[in-house]
């Protein structure tokens, strides 16, 4: 299959470029009318690490690669702009699969209003998809980094956690021995979807940043790991109450089948792509409303204090044990 | 090896971020003070396709990945801005090799004034490096696409061609049977360097675009292939005289050892990353001066005419044969 013909075919399944894209795919580089601040990030998903083609469709992979990159823009509060897609396709990957991969990304691009501005397609030994995204803002006050937390602030999280990790355990067979009765069919499907098709919370991220979140991060590695990053960047201590972690429906059953404490499982499982936010006390109501307006909800599960690092506290007020048993990537 | 520790170590070998980088590596995304036009491109180099670790050092790979992406900015006439680096490292790739890879990219970044704004590091089955670059311009008149050629214009190329393909033939053993006497030691070294360490012609690209080039492309797939892209994008015919193709020193000997016509070899070999430019007749002197000021020289080897596609003409005025025998990637 000639690479150029494949690139043309891929281009045909991408959404039409918007007006701000002065030059799109097909030239040496894309040209975009910029806004004052460019916000950019790159993310790679690799076969055998982030997905298996036995459990993920090519479209799932395309979706997931773009979603994980967009989630970084969400965590900054940036407006989505453009994406560049680079595919490494194994020799036995069909043209049809390559187009399905592109379609998975294209559908999410259309949903989120991001323009696919260019890409690269090469052959290689395993499927790898790398996505670089650029978002935009008009001023720094619209954006939110990891380093802005202050002592006395509340720590919250959007949505529910652990669903993607539970989905992965169902997909890779670790939780396959669990009783079917323990999990409703719709919950089972939803857990798989959480792992295969994460949703970047762009609208929530923008609103939370605009309405006063002091620090934000997307939960890619898991609450415990990512909260540590905010603590380190802000030079403070984050204390999180495990009993307040919102556990995604069906996740309790999967965690129990794996012999794990559900809240610990939810706090350490990766790939949820929910947002962790820090809120000054006087912004709590505004941020709750912002989350609601974006179709999600905030759960407050801890606070920022002086010190360093992360403290996960269980019901008895003691530091939690049994963490770190899940591999982060 | 924990990925986070490796990322920290990689960050330490990167050049310090410039002032325009408001947030650099270490947050969810980088934030840059933008100029009016953002010019962006993504390029991937994969083990077994673009390089072999038996013939390329990790630093060569890091250099090459960034150079190929920057070459796209050169072909647009953009000023280099930021790069995002994504590494897929095989399990047996040492931390030392990963740092050497990063250093190869970091040295070229420092030389070209591009800031490494962020990255991603994952484990995978083969070494893959993807680089997304952003360049900047203040107006469209500073930039030059593939589609601006007009009938009656001259077609020129910077530098000399075929050197990278000759270097590859020496590296992969196809030309190893050739007599050592046919190639001087310094020429041999230079041919290997051309393949391993391509130089993005950023300064030449900026000057050529600014001084009136009507269309431009970087020669990644080879003159024949890339000239066809300009012809297609401009909707015209490019006629190129094979006898005027500037053949890199030492390339004649390698081509002859491979049983190839040197000019055909030079016109079809990839990875030279020289620039092909189209020039209105009244800009020829200015573009020659622009190339010279950037430390290179232009060779005029054809013209733009009405029609479509590419015509490669040999000395006898007949269309050339024997093309297409080299694999393009």
DSSP characters over A176-203: TTS-GGGS-HHHHHHHHHHHHS----HH
Tell if the CB–CB gap between B32 and A38 is shorter than 8 Å.
yes
- CA nearest neighbour of B22 among B11, B33, B12, B10: B33
C-alpha to C-alpha distance for B92 and B83, rounded to whole angstroms: 26
Please state, for a pLDDT cut of 70, what percent of chain A lies above it: 93
Instruction: Give me the mean pLDDT over the B66-94 stretch.
Output: 97
> Rounded CA gap, B294 and B225, in Å?
25
Summarised one tens digit per residue, pLDDT across range A106-132 is 999 999 999 999 999 999 989 999 999
Residue B155, both tokens? 């077609």
Distance CA A115, CA A108 (A): 10
Instruction: Pick the residue from chain A with its C-alpha nearest to B232.
Output: A26
User: How far off is chain B from A246, nearest CA to CA, in Å?
Assistant: 23
The Cα B121–Cα A75 span in angstroms is 19
Whether the Cβ atoms of residue B112 and residue B202 lie closer than 8 Å to each other: yes
| Residue where the block lists tokens 């990322």 | B7
ipTM of the complex: 0.92
Q: Do B75 and A29 touch (CB under 8 A)?
A: yes
Out of B28, B32, B38, the one facing A72 most closely (by C-beta) is B28
CB A169 within 8 A of CB A322: no
**B184 neighbors B254 (Cβ within 8 angstroms):** no
Is B33 within 8 Å of A30 when comparing Cβ atoms?
no
Give Cβ neighbours of residue A177 (< 8 Å, ≥ 6 apart): A257
Q: Which CATH fold topology does A3-142 show?
A: 60s Ribosomal Protein L30; Chain: A; (3.30.1330)
Question: What is the strand order of the sheet B79-90 is part of?
Answer: A21-23, A30-33, B37-46, B128-137, B79-90, B115-124
Q: Which residues of B touch A82 (CB under 8 A)?
A: 40
Instruction: Report how many Cβ contacts below 8 Å link chain A to chain B.
Output: 220
Evaluate if residue B43 carries a pLDDT over 70.
yes
* Nearest-angstrom CA–CA distance, B225 and B232: 11
Contact A105, A56 (CB under 8 A): no
pLDDT value for A238: 98
B83 bridge partner residues: B116, B133
CB contact under 8 A, B40 and A233: no
Distance CA A263, CA A282 (A): 28
Residue among B23, B88, B140 whose CB faces A46 most closely = B88
CB-nearest partner of B46 from A40, A124, A133: A124
A56 vs A198: CA distance, rounded Å: 13
**Rounded Cα gap, residues B221 and B215, in angstroms:** 17
Residues of B in contact with A35 (CB under 8 A): 34
- Report which of B48, B23, B119, B116 is spatially closest to residue A44, judged by C-alpha positions: B119
Q: Give mean pLDDT, residues B2-15.
A: 83
Which residues on A lie below 8 Å from B228 (Cβ)? none
| Residue A1 scores a pLDDT above 80 | no
The predicted model gives A281-309 an average pLDDT of 98
Residue pLDDT, tens place only, A228-274: 999 999 999 999 999 999 999 999 999 999 999 999 999 999 999 99
Tell me the whole-structure pTM to 2 decimals.
0.93
* Placement of tokens 């989905």 in the chain: A167
Token output for A280: 């000054």
Is A126's CB within 8 Å of B126's CB?
Answer: yes
The sheet with strand A275-279 has its strands ordered as A215-218, A275-279, A154-158, A298-305, A237-241, A309-313
| B218: chain A residues, CB-CB within 8 Å | 28
Q: Tell me: the pLDDT tens digits for A178-213?
A: 766 778 889 999 999 999 999 999 999 999 999 999
* Contact yes or no for A28 and B41 at CB 8 A: yes
Give the pLDDT band of residue A7 (cuts 50, 70, 90). Answer: confident
Give the H or E element holding residue A174: none
Place of tokens 């910077």: B158
Confidence band for B1, pLDDT divided at 50, 70 and 90: very low
Domain map of chain A by residue range? 3-142, 154-313
Rounded Cα–Cα distance for residues A317 and B205 (Å): 63
Q: Which two tokens stand for residue B293?
A: 């000021």
Pairing of strands A309-313, A237-241: parallel
Task: Decide if B124 and A47 are in contact by the 8 Å CB cutoff.
Answer: yes
Instruction: Please tell me which of the candidates B29, B39, B146 has its beta carbon nearest to residue A73.
Output: B29
Q: Please state, in angstroms and rounded to a whole number, the distance separating the CA atoms of residues A22 and B82.
A: 20
The tokens of B46 are what? Answer: 């994969």
Look at domain A154-313 and name its CATH class. Answer: alpha beta
Distance of alpha carbon B39 from the chain centroid = 16
Question: Nearest CA to B213 among B121, B142, B151?
Answer: B142
Please indicate whether residue B17 or residue B306 has the higher confidence score (pLDDT).
B306
Residue B31, min C-alpha distance to chain A (Å): 4
In angstroms, rounded to a whole number, what is the distance separating the alpha carbons of residues A131 and A118?
10
Take residue B43 and report the two structure tokens written for it.
């390029």
pLDDT, one tens digit per residue, over B149-185 is 999 999 999 999 999 999 999 998 888 767 667 788 8
DSSP 8-class letter at B18: P
CA A269/CA A280 separation, integer angstroms: 27
pLDDT at residue A129 in the model: 98
User: In this predicted model, what pLDDT tens digit does every residue of A216-226 receive, in sequence order?
Assistant: 999 999 999 99
């Amino acid at each position: 299959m000639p690479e150029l013909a494949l690139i043309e075919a891929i281009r045909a399944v991408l959404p039409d470029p918007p007006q701000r894209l002065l030059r799109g795919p097909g030239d040496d580089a894309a040209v975009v009318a910029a806004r004052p601040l460019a916000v950019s990030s790159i993310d790679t998903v690799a076969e055998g690490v982030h997905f298996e083609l036995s459990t993920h469709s090519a479209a799932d992979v395309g979706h997931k690669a773009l979603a994980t990159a967009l989630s970084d823009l969400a965590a900054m509060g940036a407006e989505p702009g453009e994406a560049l897609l680079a595919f490494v396709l194994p020799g036995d990957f069909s043209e049809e699969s390559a187009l399905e991969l592109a379609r998975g990304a294209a559908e999410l691009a259309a949903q989120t209003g991001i323009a696919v501005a260019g890409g690269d397609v090469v052959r290689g030994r395993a499927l790898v998809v790398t996505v670089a995204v650029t978002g935009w803002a008009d001023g720094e006050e619209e954006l939110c980094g990891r380093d802005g937390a202050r002592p006395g602030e509340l720590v919250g999280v959007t949505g529910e956690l652990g669903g993607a990790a539970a989905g992965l355990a169902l997909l890779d067979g670790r939780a396959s021995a669990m009783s079917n009765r323990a999990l409703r069919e719709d919950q089972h499907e939803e857990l798989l979807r959480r792992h295969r098709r994460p949703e970047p919370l762009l609208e929530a991220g923008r609103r939370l940043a605009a309405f006063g979140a002091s620090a934000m991060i997307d939960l890619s590695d898991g609450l415990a790991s990512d909260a540590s990053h905010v603590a380190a960047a802000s030079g403070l201590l984050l204390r999180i109450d495990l009993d307040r972690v919102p556990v995604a429906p069906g996740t309790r059953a999967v965690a129990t089948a794996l012999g794990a404490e559900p809240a610990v499982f939810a706090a350490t499982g990766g790939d949820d792509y929910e947002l962790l936010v820090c809120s000054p006390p006087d912004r709590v109501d505004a941020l709750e409303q912002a989350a609601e307006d974006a179709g999600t909800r905030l759960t407050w599960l801890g606070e920022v204090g002086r010190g360093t690092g992360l403290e996960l506290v269980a019901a008895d007020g003691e530091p939690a044990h049994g963490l770190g048993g899940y591999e982060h990537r």
